């Protein structure tokens, strides 16, 4: 018998529309309303400046550890901009911009990183799931909800975000296999930021792309320039429309870069070179969209300055509201109650340490007041 090449249903494309200079491929440029483009720019700017403020607050000890999003705004916003309110969002721990676009308040982000469980409460009617900290678990959740959507004959879709490191987890493969078999309306958005904490993309898989992993499960996949919000929007919109019409799941690999640390407990200087960061900084998604909008006459220098002041004021008011809210949320020492019948020695030590710090802080405020 002859040796024959097997014909598989899908091939892989790479999509880029808007380059780092703000130049656009007019043949691929999508028709997007001016209002949507400006809204995307404002949201990108707001989340960038808020991310920078969060880092400052964390270094001051006013919030706890968090995962910065700097550099990955286009991958998130270009994707969620294609969703309807009735669709479902499944974030990991680095999707602040996506969650904010979908209705999660900045104040709730601060409450979460400040250590208050109230920050994780999902408002009634908002189809966002809470942040998933264990790597990859939310991928299974998204497929489960998508299966329920299909079972009920609804037209909604479930969108799930995960990183390149998440594709090394068994949950990822189980989820894609189930989604492929049952053709669930699931959109898998992989933010390939090149680093799974300190492990580079090259040490996670020998595959040339991450998107090609979808092909093994009979799912269409595409790789896009994740710092190009137009390419992300076009690729995800195509996948969303296919899923909504009964065409099953898709995977989009957004090639982007984590311009900050993995979390504020991490020191990226220990494992990556400054030259790498400098090179990727030239591809900044915020700068790229700004150049594009200015070239099209949709945004002026004056309007940019005005938006900067606008988001600065919003962030300032949000931080003030958060710090006022803290006063209403009770004694932080309550976190040690109702967990163990008898508190273990290491938690007793932590409780005593926190108690001393709170007393010192109260005394300092009284002296200054």
The residues carrying an active-site annotation are 258, 262, 271
Closest listed residue to residue 40, CA positions, set 89, 73, 84, 69: 73
> What are the start-end ranges of the E strands in the chain?
13-15, 88-90, 158-163, 186-192, 195-196, 199-200, 221-225, 250-255
Contact 145, 117 (CB under 8 A): no
- SS3 per residue for 107-149: HHHHHHHCCCHHHHCCCCCCCECCCCCCCCHHHHHHHHHHHHH
Select from 58, 71, 45 the least CA-distant residue to 276. Answer: 71
The burial class, CB within 10 Å (0-12 / 13-18 / 19+), for 149 is buried
Cα(250)–Cα(163) distance, rounded to whole angstroms? 16
Q: How far apart are CA 88 and CA 10, in angstroms?
A: 26
Question: Which residues are registered as beta bridge partners of 15?
Answer: 224
Q: How many CB atoms lie within 10 A of CB 297?
A: 8
């Amino acid at each position: 018998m002859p040796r024959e090449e097997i014909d598989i249903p899908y091939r892989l494309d790479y999509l880029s529309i808007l380059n780092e200079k703000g130049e656009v491929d007019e043949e691929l440029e999508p028709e997007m309303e001016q209002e949507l483009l400006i809204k995307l720019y404002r949201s990108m700017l707001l989340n960038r400046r808020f991310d920078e403020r969060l880092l400052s607050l964390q270094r001051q000890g006013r919030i706890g550890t968090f995962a910065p999003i700097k550099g990955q705004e286009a991958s998130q916003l270009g994707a969620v901009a294609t969703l309807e309110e009735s669709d479902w969002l499944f974030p990991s721990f680095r999707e602040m911009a996506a969650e904010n676009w979908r209705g999660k308040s900045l104040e709730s982000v601060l409450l979460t990183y400040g250590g208050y469980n109230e920050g994780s409460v999902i408002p009634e009617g908002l189809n966002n799931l809470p942040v998933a900290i264990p790597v990859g678990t939310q991928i299974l959740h998204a497929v489960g909800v998508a299966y329920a959507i299909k079972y009920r004959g609804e037209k909604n879709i479930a969108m799930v975000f995960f990183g390149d490191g998440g594709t090394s987890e068994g949950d990822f493969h189980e989820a894609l296999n189930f989604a492929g078999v049952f053709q669930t309306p699931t959109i898998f958005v992989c933010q390939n930021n090149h680093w799974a904490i300190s492990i580079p993309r090259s040490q996670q898989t020998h595959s040339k792309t991450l998107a090609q992993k979808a092909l093994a499960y009979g799912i269409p996949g595409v790789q896009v320039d994740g710092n190009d919000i137009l390419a992300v929007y076009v690729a995800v919109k195509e996948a969303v429309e296919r899923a909504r019409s009964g065409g099953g799941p898709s995977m989009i690999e957004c090639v982007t870069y984590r311009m900050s640390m993995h979390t504020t407990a991490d020191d990226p200087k220990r494992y990556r070179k400054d030259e790498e960061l400098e090179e990727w900084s030239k591809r900044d998604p915020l700068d790229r969209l700004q150049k594009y909008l200015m070239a099209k006459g949709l945004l002026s220098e004056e309007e940019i300055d005005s938006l900067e002041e606008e988001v600065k004021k919003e962030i300032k008011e949000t931080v003030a509201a958060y710090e006022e809210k803290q006063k209403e949320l009770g004694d932080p020492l309550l976190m040690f109650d109702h967990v163990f019948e008898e508190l273990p020695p290491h938690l007793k030590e932590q409780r005593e340490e926190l108690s001393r710090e709170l007393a010192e802080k109260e005394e300092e405020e009284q002296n200054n007041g």
